[in-house]
């Protein structure tokens, strides 16, 4: 199952202007899976806090069509995780930059004290 997830994330990253739905279809996934993945992905981004994300789930289809349901679950998990990972990376980047600025400030302060002491 993890191999499928890696493949899907790779496909999403390589699509460029092509939609995820079109990419999945072009790579041989059934239309029901692609439909579910697309809806689940939108829902996953919304669950991760993306304001423009929209929760989408065709519940009757989800309950009757296991291929749609699997696509929805995969899309939801992957896109939610991807967005949360992006948020974490952004947070760490901001804090790393602040730590670097703090270190540079401390280094400059120490250099200033060293030069004044002579």
Q: How confident is the model at residue 117 (pLDDT cuts 50, 70, 90)?
A: low
**What is the pTM assigned to this prediction?**
0.59
CA-to-CA dists, residue 81 to 25, 49, 64, 86, angstroms: 23, 11, 26, 9
SS3 assignment, position 85: helix
Residue 67 has pLDDT above 90, yes or no: yes
Residue 94 has pLDDT above 60, yes or no: yes
Quick one: residue 58, left, alpha or beta (phi over 0 = left, psi -120 to 50 = alpha)? Answer: beta
Asked whether the beta carbons of 43 and 55 are under 8 A apart, the reply is yes
Q: How confident is the model at residue 105 (pLDDT cuts 50, 70, 90)?
A: confident
Q: What count of other Cβ atoms lies within 10 Å of the Cβ of residue 93?
A: 10
Residue with tokens 């749609």: 68
Residue 98 has pLDDT above 70, yes or no: yes
């Amino acid at each position: 199952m993890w191999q499928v997830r890696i493949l899907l994330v790779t496909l999403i990253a390589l699509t460029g202007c092509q939609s995820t739905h079109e990419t999945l279809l072009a790579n041989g996934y059934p239309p029901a899976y692609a439909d579910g993945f697309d809806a689940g992905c939108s829902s996953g981004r919304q669950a991760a806090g993306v304001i423009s994300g929209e929760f989408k789930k065709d519940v009757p289809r989800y309950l009757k069509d296991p291929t749609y349901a699997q696509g929805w679950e995969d899309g939801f998990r992957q896109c939610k995780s991807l967005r949360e990972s992006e948020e974490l990376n952004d947070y760490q980047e901001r804090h790393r930059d602040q730590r670097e600025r703090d270190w540079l400030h401390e280094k400059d302060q120490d250099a200033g004290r060293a030069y004044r002491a002579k």
